[in-house]
Structure formats: structure tokens, C-alpha cells
């Protein structure tokens, strides 16, 4: 029996483990106000685990294509891992932030960002049965949503341009609501795949890449969040132009 068919699922499982640990740290810190790992930066490990999960998420698909192996179990496991790492984990980070800054105002309402888990599940279920999403996406991916959250809070927690930023309660509500909507929306998100190296047809991709690199230099890791916002904006503009 060839062991290679188990490699992609093993990598997917590492993605799932990253998400589970991220959620555990965030929600335990929200309940106790202390990091289980003893670090004063409450957002460092939950956010970094999302990034690590995204790396595993990339390589499980790469490994499956390279090894020419796939299975129905692999597809289901991948969706489950994505739900935890890119749906539950970012919701946990929002909950942690609210517990640290707005618990006296919200009480148990600090857990309202967990609605992201519901909409992430709907988005993944929709993707699994939607035959239109082969070359591009309909609605924002859970990965983009999670990377926005992880990069934003990591940039706020680390020394840098965004370290002094504090998010108002209304802004948290708007972000959670907006991303919940985008996850299940019918907005076409343009593909980031570059099929040739010419300018024509790649204009938005090149502009997005260049702007992303500049924002990374200026904002540090927070540039990832800014780039994802640009990606959403560009996709909305393209949709309006085509209409």
C-alpha cells in the first residue's frame, strides 16, 4: 500500500491542529485574561497559528496535485480544517479583543463574533457544491477573511505603524457583519492566478501585488490586511464595470 496517498490528508490535519490550538488559546485567554503560554502578547500565537494553517492549507493541495492523489475524505477533511482555522480561529481573536476592551459593555455579548463560524460553514458548503467556482471565487474565501483578521491583530500587537491603533466597538461589529456577508455573497472575486506574464489581462493582479508589497513595507504584517481590503475593492469595481 502506497503511503503517498496519506500525505495530503496528513498536511490537512496539521492545518486543523493549528486552528484548534488557536481557538483554544483565544477563548481561554478571553475567559481568564491570561495567555495559556505565558506570553503577554495575547494575539501573537492565535494569529501566527492561522498563518501557519494557511501554509499547510496551500501545501496539502499542492501535494495532492503533485502526487496525483485525491479522495472524498480529503475534500471533507479540508473543509473541516478550513472551518476551524479560517472560520472559528478568527472569530476567537475578535472575541478575545472584545473581552479585553469591551467586556464591561457587552458581557456575554463578546461572543457575537462567533457568527463568523456559521457563515464560514455556509460558505464552505456552498463552495463544495458550486460548479461555478473552478477558476475564480463567488464570495470572499474563508482564508482571506482569516488572514485579514490575523494580520490586523498581529500588527496591532507588535511594534510598528499599527501598534497604537484601537478598534472601536462599532468598527468590530461592522467588520464581523461585513465579512459574514462577503463570505456568502454572490460577488465574484477575480482570480489571482497569473496564466501569462503580459500586462494585458493582468492589470489588476499586478497593481494589487505592487500595492501589497508597498503596504507590507509601510505597515509591516498589517499590509496583508490592507491588501485583502484592496482585493475586495477591486473585485467590487470589476463587478460594477461588467454590469
Residue 39 has a pLDDT of 61
**Residue 171 pLDDT class (50, 70, 90 cuts):** very high
Closest to 139 (Cα-Cα) out of 123, 150, 125, 128: 123
**Residue 9 pLDDT class (50, 70, 90 cuts):** confident
3-state secondary structure the chain: CCHHHHHHHHHHHHHHHHHHHHHHHHHHHHHHCCCCCCCCCCCHHHHHHHHHHHHHHHHHHHHHHHHCCCCHHHHHHHHHHHHHHHHHHHHHHHHHHHHHHCHHHHHHHHHHHHHHHHHHHHHHHHHHHCCCCCCCEECCCHHHHHHHHHHHHHHHHCCCCCCCCCCCHHHHHHHHHHHHHHHHCCCEECCCCCCCCCCCCCHHHHHHHHHHHHHHHHHCCHHHHHHHHHHHHHHHHHHHHHC
43-81 pLDDT, tens digit per residue, is 999 999 999 999 999 888 777 777 777 777 878 899 999
Residue 112 has a pLDDT of 95
Is the C-alpha dihedral spanning 96, 84, 16, 155 positive or negative?
negative
Tell me the range of 73-77, 83-87, 101-105, 237-241 where mean pLDDT is highest.
83-87
89-137 pLDDT, tens digit per residue, is 999 999 999 998 998 888 889 999 999 999 999 999 988 887 776 666 8
Residue 73 has a pLDDT of 82
Residue 70 has a pLDDT of 76
Least confident of 46-50, 162-166, 176-180: 162-166
Residue 167 has a pLDDT of 92
Residue 219 has a pLDDT of 87
**Residue 36 pLDDT class (50, 70, 90 cuts):** low
196-236 pLDDT, tens digit per residue, is 556 566 677 788 888 889 998 888 899 999 999 999 998 88
Q: Which long-range contacts (CB under 8 A, 24 or more apart) does 194-199 make?
A: none
User: Please, are residues 152 and 225 in contact by the beta-carbon 8 Å criterion?
Assistant: yes
150-161 pLDDT, tens digit per residue, is 999 999 888 877
Q: Would the pLDDT of 35 be above 80? A: no
Angle (nearest 5°) at CA 189 between 186 and 192: 160
Q: How far apart are CA 166 and CA 163, in angstroms?
A: 9
Amino acid at each position: 500500500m502506497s503511503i503517498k496517498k496519506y500525505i495530503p490528508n496528513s498536511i490537512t490535519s496539521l492545518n486543523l491542529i493549528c486552528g484548534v490550538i488557536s481557538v483554544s488559546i483565544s477563548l481561554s485567554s478571553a475567559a481568564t485574561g491570561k495567555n495559556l503560554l505565558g506570553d503577554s502578547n495575547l494575539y501573537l500565537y492565535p494569529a501566527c497559528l492561522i498563518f501557519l494553517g494557511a501554509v499547510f492549507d496551500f501545501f496539502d493541495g499542492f501535494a495532492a496535485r503533485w502526487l496525483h492523489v485525491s479522495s472524498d475524505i480529503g475534500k471533507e477533511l479540508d473543509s473541516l480544517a478550513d472551518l476551524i482555522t479560517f472560520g472559528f480561529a478568527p472569530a476567537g481573536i475578535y472575541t478575545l479583543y472584545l473581552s479585553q476592551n469591551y467586556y464591561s459593555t457587552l458581557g456575554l455579548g463578546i461572543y457575537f463574533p462567533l457568527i463568523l463560524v456559521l457563515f464560514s460553514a455556509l460558505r464552505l458548503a456552498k463552495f463544495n457544491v458550486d460548479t461555478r467556482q473552478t477558476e475564480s471565487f463567488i464570495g470572499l474565501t474563508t482564508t482571506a477573511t482569516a488572514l485579514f483578521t490575523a494580520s490586523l491583530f498581529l500588527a496591532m500587537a507588535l511594534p510598528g505603524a499599527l501598534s497604537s491603533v484601537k478598534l472601536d466597538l462599532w468598527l468590530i461589529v461592522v467588520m464581523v457583519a461585513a465579512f459574514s456577508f462577503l463570505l456568502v455573497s454572490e460577488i465574484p472575486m477575480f482570480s489571482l492566478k497569473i496564466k501569462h506574464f503580459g500586462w494585458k489581462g493582468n492589470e489588476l493582479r499586478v497593481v494589487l501585488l505592487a500595492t501589497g508589497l508597498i503596504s507590507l513595507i509601510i505597515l509591516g504584517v498589517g499590509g496583508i490586511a490592507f491588501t485583502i481590503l484592496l482585493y475586495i475593492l477591486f473585485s467590487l469595481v470589476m463587478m460594477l464595470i461588467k454590469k
